[in-house]
Each structure stands twice: as C-alpha cells, then as structure tokens.
Amino acid sequence: MGCPSLRGEELVEAREGLARLCIPNPQRYLRPDGVYEPAWAPVFYNPRMAFNRDVAMVFARAWSGLRGVENLTVVEPLAGSGVRAVRYALEAGATVYAVDIDPLAVELAEINVDVNGVGDRVYVAEGDANAFMHTLRLKRVRLHIIDLDPFGSPVPFLDAALAALRGRGVLAATATDTAPLTGTHQAALRRKYDVIPGRSFLEKEQAVRILAGYIVRRAAAREYGAKVLLAYYADYYVRVYVEFSPGARRSDAALENIGYIAYCPRCHIAWYTRRPDKPGTCPRCGGEPRIIGPVYTGPLCDEKLVEEMRRVAEEMPWLTERERVVSLLSQLLEECSVTQPHYRVDRIASVLKVNMPSPRLVVEELRSMGYRAALTHFDNRGVRTDAPPDIVYDVVWRLSPSNR
C-alpha cells in the first residue's frame, strides 16, 4: 500500500486483523537481545497486544448482537497508533471517538484511519483523555463501549469513563501494573486500588478480582450497578469488561459480590469472607488466615455472552490469534461458573510431601465424585472446584504418583 513518513520517521506496513497499518519501523527499536521495544518508538504500537484487541473485537460484535445495539459507538481515550480504533470500525462496524494527548500519535492515527478508509467512522482528536470523556458527558453523547488500554493502571481514567457512560454501556479496561495487583508491590496496591494488600498463591486471579472489584466499587459510588461480563489474565496484563446499569438498588446488589480473600499461607487454601475482621480459621490447620481485599467474588464471565463470543470468533478468520481466542473462551466457559478461589495442585502436593498428580486427573476425579471442577486459565497447575479443602487434599493424595 505504501506508507508516508511521519515527520521524517520511516513508517512500514503491518497487518492486524482486517487493518492495514503504518507503524514506525520495529527494526530501529530493538533491545540488545534483539526484541522489539515498543516504548522506544516515537508512537506506541505493541504487536503483543494483538490478542487483547482480537478479544475486544469479538466482544464488541457478540455483545452488540445480544443487546440489539444498532450504530455501536466506542470511545478509545488512549489512541496511540490508532490500531484499536481502526479495528473497531472495520471489524465491529462501530463509530469510534479516539483521542491522544501526543500530537505525533494523533498524526499517525489519522494516517491509519485514512489508509483503511474509515474516516467517516473514526474521529481522531488531540487532547487529554479525561477531559475528552468529560466533554462527551457534557454533550450527552450516547456511548456503548469505552475501551481503556493504558500503559500501567487504568485507575486515573476510571471516574471520567464512568461519568461519560452515565450508567449505561460497557467499560473495557486493561491493567499492565501486575506487580501491584499480584501483591509484589504492596504499597502501590494499597495506594492505587484501596485494598488491604497481600501476596498469595492466587497471584493472577487475585489481580483480576482486585481490578474488577475496584471498578464495581467506583461504579457503586455513582449508584451504577456493575456486572462483570468477562475478566481474564493473559501474558502480562489483566483485562475486564464490566456492564453498567443505573440505580441505587442495582449498585447495592452489585456490592453483594464484593468481599475479601482469606488465605492460609501454610496450607494454600483460600476462601471469601464478608468480614475482614472475622475471616474464620483455616479449615485444615486451624491457623489464622491473611486477608486481601476488597475484591470481586462473583463469576468471571457471563456464560451466554461467552458462548456467543466463541461462536462469533469462529466466524472471524482474520483474527490474528483466533485459535487462542477460542481456547481462552472455551476455558472460561469451563471455569467461570465456579466462583471459589482456585487451588494450586503443586502447592497441595508440596504440603503433603508427594509428587504432583496431573491437574486434569484431579478435575476428572472431583467431577466423578459429584463436585463441579475445572482447570483454570490462571495457572496450568490450578484447579477450580466447589469441593471442600479436605476432599481436594484427599484427591491429590490418592492420585499422586508417589502413592501408586
């Protein structure tokens, strides 16, 4: 197609989904180990997030179809190269309002809008993300999806996004600040997300539930009910999709899914509690648990929506990582109806001082005993089940290769 230059910067062609893109030449921004570092380029474009954007396109098509939405309207307040905005227009038929504070990013986004012929559906502006969303609120623009995909935490943009949605529509948010969310940087976790910090064996599930819980709480402060439609961890980030509806009663109902994780660091057992001051004791050793929260304690997906997403994904052969998208959605359908925190089979085996059995065999055995059980996308050594801890411990013991 041929790409113009960007203020003297060489642009090269790339493809993602249905989009044809002009991006800064990745070969000029390689680390000493030969890996492309997108943060070094004059405008940020990260090909590793293509999977994230694939899921977003599938979500937009499936959600708008189920909700009967016509003239889907999406806001991307952190546009960067414009790839996400262009893909929403091409693959979900959306009208997109995109903004970036960097004038160079705006120029590149406009190039990509022009290259893809979507200038009648994608409107690019230069400006502050929060100010732009507040402007949309003041103009009472009817929005369906706001997609926050920042470098780091989405927290600085949440209140403006909630205000712009006015209690109706979906907030899609990415968080790449996984060190705080998983409890590695506990001071930052307390500061950014207003939670009792901790680091548990749950790690990635903890990260997802903290972000989802924070969004539910911020929405409730505006008397918006919040329903988590999809939440997952992939690569190095958390991604959540939350749907809002106005009303104090709805916000009160949503807060019923807010609680705390209590966990025993000795037995690697976790459970939810409504009262952080009265979490109970470890059901195995009787020890005092540690507390993390508030967190979201409900299901991590809406099954009807995810079933529709899987069907839609099968009809989108152009997706960059379609097989991976379908695999994630299939795994979420298996596990999201079980809300209890997952178990780590390797940690239980370590406590029992036996070799770890196959997590898949553990799932099959628990199901044969009448319990709900599934593998989890959070950890390939993890099992999600409603079986009590003593049953899980017994199954791991019996299935261990050490005892055969």
| Residue 339 pLDDT | 96
Quote the CA–CA distance of 31 and 34 in Å, as a whole number. Answer: 5
Reported confidence tier of residue 40, pLDDT bands at 50, 70, 90: confident
Quote the CA–CA distance of 287 and 353 in Å, as a whole number. Answer: 20
CB 276 within 8 A of CB 293: yes
Residue 43 has pLDDT above 90, yes or no: no
User: DSSP readout, 277-295?
Assistant: T-----TTT-PPPEEEEEE
| Residue 326 pLDDT | 98
What are the pLDDT digits (tens) for 183-224? Answer: 999 999 999 999 999 999 999 999 999 999 999 999 999 999
Length of the chain: 404
Quote the CA–CA distance of 167 and 110 in Å, as a whole number. Answer: 30
Which residues, other chains included, contact 213 with Cβ-Cβ below 8 Å and sequence gap of 6+? 195, 258, 293, 294, 295, 296, 297
| Prediction pTM value | 0.96
Q: Each residue of 89-128: b (16+ CB within 10 Å) or e? A: bbbbebbbbbbbebeebbbbbbbbbebbebeebbebebee
What are the pLDDT digits (tens) for 224-236? Answer: 999 999 999 999 9
Tell me which residue has tokens 């986004």. 109
| Nearest-10 Cα torsion for 164, 165, 171, 173 | 10
Question: In angstroms, what CA-CA distances link 245 with 111, 144, 148, 185?
Answer: 36, 12, 19, 33
Quote the CA–CA distance of 383 and 349 in Å, as a whole number. Answer: 13
| Residue 1 pLDDT | 62
Residue 15 has pLDDT above 70, yes or no: yes
DSSP state of 25: -
Strands 373-376 and 379-385: antiparallel
Quote the CA–CA distance of 315 and 184 in Å, as a whole number. Answer: 40
What are the pLDDT digits (tens) for 279-329? Answer: 999 999 999 999 999 999 999 999 999 999 999 999 999 999 999 999 999
Q: Each residue of 189-210: b (16+ CB within 10 Å) or e? A: beebbebbbbbbbbbbbbbbbb
Residue of 313, 331, 377, 321 lying closest to 51 (CA atoms): 321
DSSP state of 173: E
Burial of 235 (0-12, 13-18, 19+ CB in 10 A): exposed
19-27 LR contacts (CB < 8 Å, sep 24+): 19/83, 19/86, 19/87, 19/90, 19/112, 19/116, 20/115, 20/116, 21/45, 21/81, 21/83, 21/86, 21/112, 21/115, 22/108, 22/111, 22/112, 22/115, 23/81, 23/108
Which residues, other chains included, contact 404 with Cβ-Cβ below 8 Å and sequence gap of 6+? none
Task: Say which range, 11-20, 43-52, 243-252, has the weakest mean pLDDT.
Answer: 43-52
Quote the CA–CA distance of 255 and 299 in Å, as a whole number. Answer: 13
What are the pLDDT digits (tens) for 53-82? Answer: 999 999 999 999 999 999 999 999 999 999
Quote the CA–CA distance of 355 and 391 in Å, as a whole number. Answer: 18
| Residue 149 pLDDT | 95
Residue 180 has pLDDT above 90, yes or no: yes
| Residue 372 pLDDT | 97
Domains of the chain plus CATH, in order, are 342-404 (3.30.56.70)
Listed in order, strand segments (DSSP E) in 236-378 are: 237-246, 258-264, 269-273, 290-296, 343-344, 373-376
Residue 83 has pLDDT above 80, yes or no: yes
Residue 403 has pLDDT above 90, yes or no: no
Encoded amino acid at 119, one letter: G
Question: In angstroms, what CA-CA distances link 394 with 265, 325, 354?
Answer: 19, 35, 12
Please provide residue 328's backbone torsions phi and psi, each rounded to the nearest 5 degrees.
-65, -45
Residue 404 has pLDDT above 80, yes or no: no
Strands 373-376 and 290-296: unpaired
Quote the CA–CA distance of 49 and 236 in Å, as a whole number. Answer: 10
Please provide residue 124's backbone torsions phi and psi, each rounded to the nearest 5 degrees.
-105, 135
In this prediction, residues 363-375 reach a mean pLDDT of 98
Which residues, other chains included, contact 393 with Cβ-Cβ below 8 Å and sequence gap of 6+? 284, 348, 351, 352
The mean of the pLDDT values for the chain is: 96
Percent of the chain's residues with pLDDT above 90: 91
